[in-house]
Amino acid sequence: MHTLPEEQRHLLELVQGFARTEVAPRADAFERASTFPRELFDQLGRMDLTGLPFPEEQGGSALPFRTYLLVLEELSRAFLALGLGLSVHTLATWGIDTFGTPEQRRRFVPDLVAGRLLGAYALSEPDAGSDAAAMSTRARRDGDGYRLDGVKAWVTHGGVADRYLVMARTGEAGARGISAFVVDADQPGLTVAPPESKLGMWASPTAQLVFEDAAVPADRLLGGEEGLGFRIAMASLDGGRLGIAACAVGLAQAALDVATTYARQREQFGRPIIEHQGVAFLLADMATRTEASRAVMLSVADRRDHAAGIGPYAGRDDAGTGYPITAPAAMAKLFATDATMQTTLDAVQVLGGAGYTTDHPAERYLREAKVLQIVEGTNQIQRLVIGRALARG
Amino acid sequence: MKVIVPVKRVPDTAGEKKLDPNDRTVDRDGVESVLCPVNEFSIEEAVRLKEKHGAEVTVLLIGPDSAQPIVRKALSYGLDAAVQVTDDAISGSDALGTARVIAKALESMEWDLVVFGNQSADARTCLVPAAVGELLGVPSLTFARYLEVNGDEVVVHREHEEGWDVVSAQLPALVSVVEAINEPRYPSFKGIMAAKSKPLTVKSLADIGVDDGAVGLGAASATMYEFEPRPPKSAGTIVDDDGSGAAAAQLADWMAEKKFV
């Protein structure tokens, strides 16, 4: 266990107790029912866990990003759909709080911080995934507001979220013509397509948002200025990628827990299989990868916290966008999610035939791990981000 | 309205319970102490009174300095203040001795309603709430599975084997609650942090006017002379089901013999 100040220790005890008794036992049922665990998310809100890395004036707890990531890890260890849900919610909330005008921050953020509303983030489109700047959803100026037309894709919480951070084109082709809007679920002209049918993460709906002549008032243009959208989207992703790393570490820990427990109990050739070197070495590698993933995640989080002067946006001169963590955050996401893919694969192998059945959660972990190599930028895009940073020197 | 919630520190209910061979009381060494689980229900009920009627809620704990984390834990649910009665002379008190201390402590405080848990997870006597009521000459409404306060009246559903009775009393009154009464919430992170700075008053027996000789192991009305650890579980009987129905008959006979049916 890492050395933590008393405040963080109390927080983690609270989260661990909740995750163990309320979340983990219900994860499988939510997955099988393909139902988003809204009641668990609401509960996180009542426990003040949806606003940890946000300023106190917004109702948050002003805790460093490191602490928030450790909480995310614990929740993901119990139920990835809930951990990932909090990560996506935080990504959207952070974008609005960091780039909103003072009036927008007061109006849109406190309900998200308190967990009364569920947030989501809409950047990708059917024909603009990794190449997000090629998006075609348009926001046309129309009198006092904008008219949005187009389709956003792969939106986590699509159809269950209350408030979306939506990127749309207001100007020229490319990144500079993109703006960000705060759009609520009851927006006229917005419909949500039926959720995608996926390999895993059934409790976390992924859906397209369809905008048809949707009249969005100008006071929902984030930052009050056109052209900021791509910068907002990318800056939000830096934190989002650390969040995905934390989700991956939690999932890997869950897989390691299940595999280790099984290997201690299952006997073959007259002794527990963990005493056979072939199995023990698999477990040793799983544990080492998980520890290394956690270390890189926390190291990058610490750099972010220190660059900010610790505490939410302590040194927010540049609205939190100038910290040199884009490449390190990509590294944390890349390393942790690739490691978790291998670890969940190995967990199935340790359980053997049992691991391939739905009697044990190992097969679910394997299916869930795959999405982490894809979301918030595929791992190929992470390498691109890192490679470009190296090329710049 | 002023409400008091007496809470107890007990050895971790999941852990193995041991007695100290020297004084034959609960051995707390090496066993983690926790807030008595039934108090999560009594605290929840008090928090609801706070939300509904703006009640001011004070935690009362009888126990040594080392029990202070339990007081803070109770406060983390959003309660207002705490009183802890700490005195070496209290150690080893039986249910009546404990009731004497609680009764005197209550006499030194202002309140309209006291919400107890019906029994502690370690002693499980169910005696203390009623005993405190007798000592104070105040009505005690025990085993409540429902509680409401209307003006200066408290109404409870008192649980028993065949259902429940509706019982009411004028305030001030004491209530003890059973676990069916509500679903306790989790404390919030801000509640945990705020609990550190809530006022905590520590009192001795002299402060509340209890004579040392009236409590403690020496004043206990029952004496334990001997104890033995629980014998290991013996092997059970295994009934093989050969598909003929004989196994079912064998099971039925066994249950009849043990008077389960």
CB contact under 8 A, B186 and A46: yes
Minimum mean pLDDT among A26-35, A218-227, A384-393: which range? A384-393
Q: By CA distance, what is B73's nearest residue in A?
A: A10
Minimum mean pLDDT among B10-19, B61-70, B73-82: which range? B10-19
Q: By CA distance, what is B72's nearest residue in A?
A: A10
Q: Which of A13, A23, A48 to mutate to test the interface with B (most CBs of B within 10 A)?
A: A48
CB B58 within 8 A of CB B2: yes
CA distance B71 to chain A (A): 15
CATH of domain A119-229: 2.40.110.10
* Per-residue tokens: B42: 């009594």
**What span, in angstroms and rounded, lies between the C-alpha atoms of A33 and A10?**
33
Confidence of residue B92 (pLDDT cuts 50, 70, 90): confident
**What span, in angstroms and rounded, lies between the C-alpha atoms of B193 and A61?**
10
Element (H, E) at B13: none
Alpha helices (H) along chain B: 37-53, 68-75, 95-107, 128-136, 189-195, 205-208, 246-257
Q: Is A22 part of the annotated catalytic residue set? A: no
Correct CATH for A6-113 of 3.40.50.300, 1.10.540.10, 1.20.1740.10, 3.30.70.1400 = 1.10.540.10
From residue A214, give the alpha-carbon distance in Å to each of A136, A170, A209, A211. 15, 14, 11, 6
Element (H, E) at A313: none
CA distance A384 to chain B (A): 39
DSSP per position, A28-75: HHHHHHT---HHHHHHHHHTT-SSTTS-GGGT-----HHHHHHHHHHH
Residues in Cβ contact with B44 at an 8 Å cutoff, skipping those fewer than 6 apart: B77, B181, B182, B183, B184, B185
A82 touches chain B (CB under 8 A): no
A27 touches chain B (CB under 8 A): no
Residues B145-169 have pLDDT tens digits of 999 999 999 999 999 999 999 999 9
**What span, in angstroms and rounded, lies between the C-alpha atoms of A325 and A322?**
8
A199 touches chain B (CB under 8 A): no
Which member of A18, A22, A48 has the closest CB to residue B190? A48
CA distance B190 to chain A (A): 7
Q: Which CATH superfamily is domain A230-392 in?
A: Butyryl-CoA Dehydrogenase, subunit A, domain 3 (1.20.140.10)
Residues in Cβ contact with A94 at an 8 Å cutoff, skipping those fewer than 6 apart: A53, A54, A236, A239
**pLDDT value of position A93:** 98
Active-site residue (options: A31, A73, A368, A376) = A376
Which member of A10, A43, A46 has the closest CB to residue B192? A10
Q: Which of B34, B73, B186 to mutate to test the interface with A (most CBs of A within 10 A)?
A: B186
* Per-residue tokens: A32: 């099988």
CA distance B63 to chain A (A): 23
Residues A147-206 have pLDDT tens digits of 999 999 999 999 999 999 999 999 999 999 999 999 999 999 999 999 999 999 999 999
Query: Higher-confidence residue: B260 or B109?
Result: B109
**pLDDT value of position B22:** 82
From residue A44, give the alpha-carbon distance in Å to each of A97, A133, A146, B33. 20, 34, 35, 26
Q: Which of A7, A8, A10 to mutate to test the interface with B (most CBs of B within 10 A)?
A: A10
The complex's ipTM works out to 0.84
Query: Higher-confidence residue: B29 or A15?
Result: A15
Domains for chain B: give ranges and CATH numbers: 2-219 (3.40.50.620), 235-261 (no CATH)
A44 touches chain B (CB under 8 A): no
The residue ranges of DSSP E strands in A97-161, in sequence order, are 119-122, 138-142, 145-156
**List of chain A residues whose C-beta atoms are within 8 Å of the C-beta of residue B188:** 46-48
Q: How many residues are there in chain B?
A: 261
Residues A344-366 have pLDDT tens digits of 999 999 999 999 999 999 999 99
A365 touches chain B (CB under 8 A): no
Domain range summary for chain A, segments of one domain joined by +: 6-113, 119-229, 230-392
Alpha helices (H) along chain A: 6-18, 24-33, 38-46, 65-78, 80-99, 102-108, 110-113, 229-265, 277-308, 326-351, 362-372, 379-392
CB contact under 8 A, A48 and B189: yes
Q: Output the CA torsion sign for A63, A65, A71, A75.
A: positive
A68 touches chain B (CB under 8 A): no
| A113: helix, strand or coil | helix
Interface of B with A (CB under 8 A): 185-193
B9-11 and B33-35 beta bridge pairing = antiparallel
**What span, in angstroms and rounded, lies between the C-alpha atoms of A129 and A175?**
14
**What span, in angstroms and rounded, lies between the C-alpha atoms of A359 and B58?**
48
User: If you search the block for the tokens 């609005």, which residue do you land on?
Assistant: A96
Q: Is the pLDDT of residue A321 over 60?
A: no
**pLDDT value of position A319:** 40
